[in-house]
Amino acid sequence: MGMGKRLSALILTVLFLGGCSEGGPGMNYAERQAAAAGLDSGLADSSNRLGVKLFGQLWKQGGGNLTISPYSVAAALALAYNGSAGETAEELGKLLGYAPDERQKLNTGHQSLMKLLNHGGPGVELKIANSVWGMKGLPLRRDYLKTGEDFYSAQIETTDLAAEKSVKEINGWVADHTGDKIQEMLTKPPGPQAVAVLVNALYFKGGWTDVFEEQAATKQADFYPPDGPAVQVMMMKRGGMFSYAAHKDWQAVKLPYGEGQMEMVVVLPGEQSSLAELVGQLEQGTLPLDEDYTSTLGTLLLPRFTASYGTELSKALQALGVKLAFDPSQGDFSLMSDLDSPIYFEQVIHKTYIDVNERGTEAAASTVIDMRAGAAPPADKPFEMNVNRPFLFMIRDTQTGATLFLGAIENPQRTD
């Protein structure tokens, strides 16, 4: 690996839908909406754009069941960005949407957004945690650590990153902050050249505003993956009023959580289109997912699915223009630690877990309907949306605009 010191930046994120959470106390919908109005909207926008670009790169590497967290990746990279300087900082800043001299704005934006996201509201549990693990005996700069603590609520730890115990310590921290859904982030110690490990964990539990009737309506049905024969899935079914959009190439429906402060958007390609075509449109910014939703009567069939995804992001990030951060001879993270040799990213690891079922968590006792869809009269003919082939989904915070998860499911039977 050359003589350069190494920064192994570890990024992870988790999603778990299901179980029985009561949803934490805190702000109600109106209070949260008022707080969200004061946020820097540019931060959510740039985080979402980064997620779409990254998703497009990872999709080119192999498709399949792919789920990432745009917000989590952006938060962890922002933490690393604060330690960068020179051209390394310029490249990272370009990807994050904030120039090196705008880092203070980026940091205060993350501080405010994180505070609001950690108050998910009734029916939703969302927890975000950051940590910085420094190498024992290699002091990290006090200014850098203070920024991490003040703006990212980062837990600062020191350990021997060359020793086996560091794997247990970091994996234990990850498990603690992800409801035990991700227990093996690291398989081996970062090594004697490691300077620091940066971790972002995101854990989400959401209860559908309107649950699916489990016993009566869920039945085995065919699902058609892109290759091979149909597979059997447990297909959930619900009728009623939905926030719905139809396009010549796709159908989409919004499924709110809690009081509507979070939602899942499910996008189904038309019979003549494909998931690959939709991913291409998403990457180019030509998939108009925020337009033309109306409150419409219809029937939705959606498979239960569980998807775990993990990948190393170096190749994808380099394709997006972040090159110097990965260069052992030129990486410049001099604002992080005062070392004679360059510090660089050796690896960027990202993991997600998602479980979608009839309940989500609890069904919030709320009569708040998605008013933002407009009060258009129901269409003459009720729609049917049968999600029995590969589809796109995203989970977003409707009030802050942040996309928490972006995913594609080619085969709900696969859980890896």
DSSP 231-295: EEEEEEEEEEEEEEEE-SSEEEEEEEETTTTEEEEEEEE-TTS-HHHHHHHHHHT---TTS--EE
Q: Which residues of 338-368 are buried (b: 16+ CB within 10 A; e: fewer)?
A: eeeebbbbbbbbbbbbbbbbbbbbbbbebeb
Q: CA 380, CA 66: separation in Å to the nearest integer? A: 36
Looking at the fold, whether 312 and 383 belong to one and the same domain comes out as no
Q: CA 132, CA 349: separation in Å to the nearest integer? A: 15
Looking at the fold, whether 388 and 328 belong to one and the same domain comes out as no
Task: Report the domain count for the chain.
Answer: 2
| Residue 183 · residue 171 · CB < 8 Å | yes
Looking at the fold, whether 56 and 194 belong to one and the same domain comes out as yes
CATH number of residue 376's parent domain: 2.30.39.10
Answer whether residue 63 is part of any domain: yes
Q: Report helix, strand or coil for 127.
A: strand
CATH number of residue 113's parent domain: 3.30.497.10
pLDDT of res. 347: 83
pLDDT of res. 361: 35
Looking at the fold, whether 57 and 144 belong to one and the same domain comes out as yes
Per the rule left: phi > 0, alpha: psi between -120 and 50, beta: everything else, 19 is left
Whole-model pTM?
0.89
Tokens representing 35 are 């707080």
Q: Which of residues 354, 369, 387 is at a domain's end?
A: 354
The greatest distance separating any two alpha carbons of the chain, rounded to the nearest whole angstrom, comes to 71
- Match 């009720």 to its residue by tokens: 382
Looking at the fold, whether 199 and 114 belong to one and the same domain comes out as yes
Looking at the fold, whether 101 and 179 belong to one and the same domain comes out as yes
- Domain containing 39 equals 5-206+307-354
Answer whether residue 45 is part of any domain: yes
Average pLDDT for runs of 10 along the chain of length 416: 62 53 63 90 92 93 85 90 94 96 96 91 84 87 94 92 92 86 84 86 84 78 90 91 90 92 93 90 81 88 85 90 90 86 84 75 24 37 91 93 91 75
Answer whether residue 416 is part of any domain: no
pLDDT of res. 373: 26
Positive or negative: CA dihedral 291, 209, 31, 27: negative
Q: Which amino acid is at 172?
A: G
pLDDT in tens, 116-169: 998 888 888 888 888 888 888 888 899 999 999 999 999 999 999 899 999 999
Looking at the fold, whether 368 and 233 belong to one and the same domain comes out as yes
pLDDT of res. 11: 63
